Structure 1
């Protein structure tokens, strides 16, 4: 009996050991090759998924753009990517004349001998399809001697390109307060011509065009100069249609601080008078030869408008005149132009003139009214808030080394919190070297 119990226990133990042996998989049952195969297969699946998503995104983007373009009455041509590559030598870096928030800008030469500027949307650009289509639709619908001419566009694959006329002398900012080697000696008759030309372009947008347009980003870098130094307004990516007369547009704030009208910067209250204000700031820059937000040191920062108002109180507005003009200018014309700038930058939008009135005054057809900077037309607490707002922006710009700014003493770059300039300065560009 004892022997029988021993046999049963032995048999049970042996059976359990056998079961345990075959129930535990060997630790080396999955070979190294199998593991590599699984990993490779997983990576392949992930790559395929990413590829499909990327391809779907590209197709959807192209489809969306093509769909949107069907509703735009384009008065410009269309270019193929092959044409653009041939014109720019496949976007050769030697032909790169600038770079901004939108992307890079290249000089090109078409087969018929036309020199062009190609604005290429960067894949990292904050300016999306909406702004691209906005600029394309706006500027293709308006034509004027003082608006930059759009030849056409190219939408092919992931490429979004705008093709403009080439402007030999870049922009006003570079000409007046860019790096020394970039500056152009602009005499007073030329500066006066530029002031009148910008006013005519804006008068066309606000009052004469079939579409009434508020540009929203008038500044020195967005006024280009052709070979004869005629001004042309550019960059319509932020432009808005002013469809209802005598009313304002409530919209998100976009543009460039320092050029924004107070009612727009503080409340998003937009009318064509916002462009008038920005124009006034540009005029002060043209007369003084200084950037509106020039900063020599943090404790010496100033805005041109603040300076102009101080000089007005002192009765010495002529102190604003660019020393580079010497004494070779018409004093009465310069003083009149400064007064027009102050009228345009009145804190009250209602007190600002129309751009057609500005043209008439500058051309001597209409007498300017006595300048009255009427602070009582706007609550004083709002004026104080506006000034504090601009001061904070200026301090933030000085503190952030990555912020684009303009400095007479330093390297010049585009200044914008919106879309960047069509021709930001590139002192090392092939264009500048050939010009020098």
Structure 2
């Protein structure tokens, strides 16, 4: 799943919840990659530039999106058009699926049938936020495991006895299930 890390919508990557707008998120990342001429992640770059979506948002806030356009074009591009596509990519990667445009709206914006309205654009769901959440969740799980094991070994309350009974019942069930195979 590592190769999909930068393309998965946050609601799917973290919660396993697939929405109608999950593909819109992926399309937004892809659109930004096309305009920038680079991959969504590049660990060889300085930390602040490693994740394309984070870099795009930072440049958008500073009104410097044009700096993200593929350098191999040597300045031979329509800056207004390139920035428009980058803004569409950002609209597609909004954290909340409800804030992302429909694909038909995206097509209309790309073809010029509809203006790009970035007035209500919010910070997209960023990969570093996911990684932080996963690291935090993993650390909390380790702490919970340690607390549970020390609780079970040192506690002698009736709660401990209930926990032991439940664990024993689960173990017994598993053992019986294994014997019946």
Q: Is the 8 A contact 2:9 2:22 kept in 1?
A: yes
- Is residue 2:130 matched to residue 1:386? yes
| Superposed CA offset, 1:127-146 (max 9, x none) | xxxxxxxxxxxxxxxxxxxx
Asked whether the equivalents of residues 318 and 335 of structure 1 are also in contact (C-alpha less than 8 Å), the reply is yes
Q: Which residue of 2 aligns with 1:353?
A: 101
> Does the 8 A contact of 1:342 with 1:371 survive in 2?
no
- Is 1:272 the equivalent of 2:20? yes
The CA RMSD over aligned residues, in Å, is 3.0
Measure the CA separation in 2 of the matches of 1:354 and 1:273.
Answer: 7
Encode CA deviations 1:390-421: one digit per residue, 9 max, x unaligned: 789xxxxxxxxxxxxxxxxxxxxxxxxxxxxx
**Distance (Å, rounded) in 2 between the aligned partners of 1:325 and 1:293:** 21
Task: Supply the distance in 2 between the matched residues of 1:327 and 1:254 (Cα, whole angstroms).
Answer: 33
TM-score (norm 1): 0.28
Long gaps (5+) in structure 1: 1-252, 393-436
> What is the distance in 2 between the residues matched to 1:279 and 1:341?
7
Equivalent in the alignment of 2:66: 318
Task: String of CA shifts for 1:268-303, please: whole Å, max 9, x gaps.
Answer: 110231111011111111111111111216856621
When you count helix as a share of all residues, which structure comes out higher?
Answer: 2
Match in the other structure for 2:112: 364
Conserved? CA contact 1:266–1:386, under 8 Å: yes
Could you list the structure 1 runs, at least 4 aligned residues long, displaced by more than 2 angstroms after superposition: 297-301, 370-375, 383-387, 389-392
Shift of 1:265: 0.8
Indicate conservation of the 8 Å contact 2:94/2:122, yes or no: yes
The structure with the larger Rg is 1
Structure 2's unaligned 5+ residue stretches are 137-181
Contact 2:65 2:86 in 1 (8 A): yes
Give me the TM-score of the superposition, normalised by structure 2. Answer: 0.65
Alignment partner of 1:330 is 2:78: yes
Does structure 1 residue 294 correspond to structure 2 residue 39? Answer: no
Q: What is the DSSP-based 3-state SS (H/G/I as helix, E as strand, rest coil) of the residue aligned with 1:347?
A: coil
The answer to whether the 8 A contact 2:48-2:55 is kept is: no
1:263 aligned to which of 11, 16, 21: 11
Indicate if the aligned counterparts of 2:49 and 2:55 stay in contact, CA closer than 8 A.
no
Task: Report the Cα distance in structure 2 between the residues aligned to 1:273 and 1:325, rounded to whole angstroms.
Answer: 32
Number of corresponding residues: 135
Q: Which has the higher contact order (CA 8 A, sep 6+)?
A: 2
